Amino acid sequence: MRPSVPLLLLACVACRKDAAPTPAEITARAWEAHGIVIAAGEQSRTCAEAGPAMQAAFVKHRQAFVDAVALDRDRARLEAATAYIEANEQRYRDLDTRMEALSDRCADEPTVQAAFDQMENP
């Protein structure tokens, strides 16, 4: 008895979910998580509200930051992500610009600065 094509496709998809993410996927998830945390701060009315909102978003997406730091420390895997990083350089620049603007706006708010610290050292 031969398995049907849909069953083979389903099995293939299930196997992929168990596979480790590629360096490009780790990078994409990390950038997405950065965007979510930054947006939480940007959408807050005050810097005092931004810090807790950012920290809550960080907690929800902490694994993406942990994985990104591990990738940064693994030279071979980081090199494997280079093509993705270079192809998406503008996305990174946009995130960096937004982070810098939020950091400058809330420079005197320790909870915002703590959220930025958490993203660097999850």
pTM of the model: 0.82
Q: How many helices, marked H, and strands, marked E, lie in the chain? A: 7, 0
Rounded CA gap, 56 and 71, in Å? 23
Q: What is the pLDDT of residues 44-77, one digit of tens each?
A: 999 999 999 999 999 999 999 999 999 999 999 9
Whether the CA torsion 98, 102, 105, 108 is positive or negative: it is negative
Q: Is residue 10's pLDDT more than 80?
A: no
